[in-house]
Amino acid sequence: MAIPNLDDIRRPALELLAERGSLTKISDVFELLAPQFNLNEDELLELLPSGTQRKWNNRVNWSCFDLFKAKLLDRPNKGYYRINDAGRKALKEAPEQITRKYLSKVSKDFEDFVTPGLTPGGVKMVPPTPDPIERTPDEQMGMAMKTIDRFLRSDLLEQLSNVKPYRFEQVVIDLLFAMGYGGSREEAAQVTKRSGDEGIDGVINEDRLGLDVIYVQAKRWKSTVGRPDVQGFVGALAGKQANKGVFITTSNFSQEAIQFARNISQKVILIDGARLAELMIEHNVGVSTTQTFTIKRVDSDYFEES
């Protein structure tokens, strides 16, 4: 039979993990789930058009990731899944096909995750989406890239929330250096100091000549950063003889904190977890390219007579 789609895979995957009950490696899910669909060797070895991954593995991986984002599975380590109480409950209530529409209905987190166009405050700004049949190939590729990008940002934030405090400091230093601050890797590293609050704070040169400095504070927090935290940060600028500051967090900022930063005389940039992930992707920190697509068009000039 043909390789099943995501809607057909999610429930059998959830049932398999419920049967096992323990932490299961995703590669074991590939192997244990395949017999249920009577896939032959050629189908199991079939590659994606890019040639970088087996199609069956790719679909199982995305299916399990969807279940994880809907909080029906736990993923204590990347590549390992375990069913939880919400997942067991879903097995009793879910239809034969577990679609993304169903997951959005049972999980607000999943709905927010798959919905493009969320503002930093969580307000949905979703333009009308044309039916897939009405989309041009270029539009379909653009939508696919946006979906992959959302998954990548989510994955990065999960990784950041699980790294050790000192490793998080190194990530921030690598990002600042990749963005052009500090002049050299060694100079950028001077911004950090080990502290007891899972973060860094210090001063870094804005340019290679050191004509201006920026006060940097980066905190690996899970709770929302409020106005008092930002006020304390602004107060520290004077002590560091800095008029510019960057406050980085893996969580988010309250509206009061954002409004306060906008209304002060100092230039203070607030970078929340979502923006941090975007900057890491933009500057290739903690990510790598798995495949590249080149889109070509006919060169009309080539065919014109000279």
What digits encode the pLDDT tens for the residues 3-25? 999 999 999 999 999 999 999 99
Q: Using one digit for the tens of pLDDT, what is the confidence trace for 172-204?
A: 888 988 988 877 777 776 666 555 444 557 778
Domain boundary residue, one of 73, 107, 141: 107
pLDDT at position 306 is 60
pTM of the model: 0.66
Does a structural domain hold residue 2?
A: yes
Tokens of 181: 């601050």
79 is a domain residue: yes
Q: Domain range holding 273?
A: 165-282
pLDDT the model gives residue 199: 53
The pLDDT score that the predictor gives to residue 240 is 73
pLDDT score of 13: 97
Q: What's the CATH number where 77 sits?
A: 1.10.10.10
CB atoms within 10 A of CB 86: 15
Sheet holding 213-219, edge to edge: 199-205, 213-219, 244-249, 267-271
The answer to whether the beta carbons of residues 294 and 271 sit under 8 Å apart is no
In the prediction, which pLDDT does 119 show? 39
Q: Which parts of the chain have pLDDT scores under 50?
A: 117-133, 196-198
Angle in degrees, CA 215, 221, 227, rounded to 5: 65
At 300 the pLDDT is: 73
Sign (positive or negative) of CA dihedral 80, 222, 145, 139: positive
Question: Is 122 domain-assigned?
Answer: no
Q: What is the CATH number of the domain that holds 194?
A: 3.40.1340.10
Contact 29, 60 (CB under 8 A): yes
